[in-house]
């Protein structure tokens, strides 16, 4: 199954709370949710943290699950997409800042996705320059994943690796999106201060490019499919 992650930013003149409200309450429900090929759909809204930039790169992420490439292509040809979701996007999102990642999800700590916590950190990474993609994935799913499992308070952990098709004619803008779930914001902030979390970040410095690493603290807003595909 394709796990698509869509990172988005408010259009000029729209505040982040207004952008998030429209995304969750209007766009997701009235337009995107009607695309028949989408099996699961969640909108993750950014939770501001001390030290965040005044204008972050993205204010949230949509997560969409599609069965395969054929259904993904079919979804882009539906009237629900062409005459609905696509036409609505410029009303609320700065589409020129949107980044779309088609990924394969690897559950390192499966957790309880149906009724588990809805607060998570998403760490977006690009591998270190000169590191082969195969070696990046091997280290990520091996030694790095083992370090993540030691972080106190971690309830669920997915590694989402950008699919091979993104490298067919060049480089993908990012290579992976790591998702780490915690009970709430307080639990994440406590975990982020632990030696285990710092070890995780130090390991990232060794095989990814720090300048292209982005961390978002997010709150899930499930539109449908939290317990499984519709």
> Can you state the angle between helices 185-192 and 195-207, rounded to 10 degrees?
70
Average pLDDT over residues 140-155: 98
Predicted pLDDT at 182? 97
Residue 14, domain member (yes or no): yes
Residue 83, domain member (yes or no): yes
Tell me the pairing of strands 99-109 and 176-182. Answer: unpaired
Residue 112 has pLDDT above 90, yes or no: no
Predicted pLDDT at 228? 84
Average pLDDT over residues 146-160: 98
Residue 164 has pLDDT above 90, yes or no: yes
pLDDT, tens digit, for every residue of 51-87?
A: 899 899 999 999 999 999 999 999 999 999 999 999 9
Average pLDDT over residues 120-125: 98
Residue 105 has pLDDT above 90, yes or no: yes
Length of the chain equals 230
**Cβ neighbours for 213, distance < 8 A, ≥ 6 positions apart:** 123, 124, 125, 126, 204
Predicted pLDDT at 100? 97
Residue 230, domain member (yes or no): no
Residue 66, domain member (yes or no): yes
* Percent share of the chain, pLDDT over 70: 100
Provide the domain limits for residue 177. 2-224
Residue 113 has pLDDT above 90, yes or no: no
Number of structural domains found in the chain: 1
Average pLDDT over residues 31-56: 95
Please name the helix (run of DSSP H) or strand (run of DSSP E) that holds residue 105, with its range, or none: strand 99-109
Mind giving me the DSSP string for 150-177? TSTT--EEEEEEEPGGGGSSS--S-SEE
* Residue 168 to residue 217: CA distance in whole angstroms: 31
* Residue 94 to residue 9: CA distance in whole angstroms: 6
**Max CA distance (Å), the chain:** 51
Q: Could you tell me the pLDDT band of residue 227, with boundaries at 50, 70 and 90?
A: confident
Average pLDDT over residues 18-25: 98
* Percent share of the chain, pLDDT over 90: 93
Residue 114 has pLDDT above 90, yes or no: no
Residue 229, domain member (yes or no): no
Predicted pLDDT at 189? 97
**Cβ neighbours for 78, distance < 8 A, ≥ 6 positions apart:** 35, 36, 37
Predicted pLDDT at 135? 98
CATH number at residue 179: 3.30.70.100
Distances in Å between the Cα of 194 and the Cα atoms of 155, 158, 177, 197 are: 16, 20, 21, 5
> Nearest CA to 46 among 25, 12, 21?
21
Residue 64, domain member (yes or no): yes
Tell me the pairing of strands 119-125 and 176-182. Answer: antiparallel
Q: Could you tell me the pLDDT band of residue 138, with boundaries at 50, 70 and 90?
A: very high
> Nearest CA to 124 among 22, 47, 211?
211
pLDDT, tens digit, for every residue of 168-225?
A: 988 999 999 999 999 999 999 999 999 999 999 999 999 999 999 999 999 999 999 9
């Amino acid at each position: 199954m394709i796990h698509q992650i869509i990172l988005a930013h408010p259009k000029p003149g729209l505040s982040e709370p207004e952008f998030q409200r429209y995304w969750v309450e209007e766009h997701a429900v009235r337009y995107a949710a009607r695309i028949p090929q989408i099996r699961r759909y969640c909108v993750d809204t950014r939770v501001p943290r001390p030290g965040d930039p005044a204008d972050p790169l993205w204010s949230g992420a949509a997560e969409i699950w599609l069965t395969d490439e054929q259904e993904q292509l079919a979804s882009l040809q539906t009237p629900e997409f062409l005459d609905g979701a696509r036409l609505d996007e410029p009303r609320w999102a700065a589409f020129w800042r949107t980044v779309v990642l088609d990924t394969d999800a690897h559950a390192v700590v499966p957790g309880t996705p149906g009724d588990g916590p809805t607060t998570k950190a998403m760490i977006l990474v690009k591998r270190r320059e000169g590191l082969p993609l195969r070696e990046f994935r091997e280290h990520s799913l091996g030694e790095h994943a083992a370090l993540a499992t030691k972080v106190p308070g971690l309830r669920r952990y997915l590694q989402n690796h950008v699919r091979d098709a993104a490298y067919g004619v060049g480089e993908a803008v990012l290579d992976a999106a790591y998702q780490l779930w915690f009970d709430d914001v307080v639990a994440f902030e406590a975990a982020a201060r632990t030696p285990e979390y710092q070890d995780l970040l130090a390991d990232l410095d060794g095989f990814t490019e720090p300048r292209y690493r982005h961390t978002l603290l997010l709150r899930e807003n499930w539109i449908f499919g939290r317990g499984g595909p519709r």
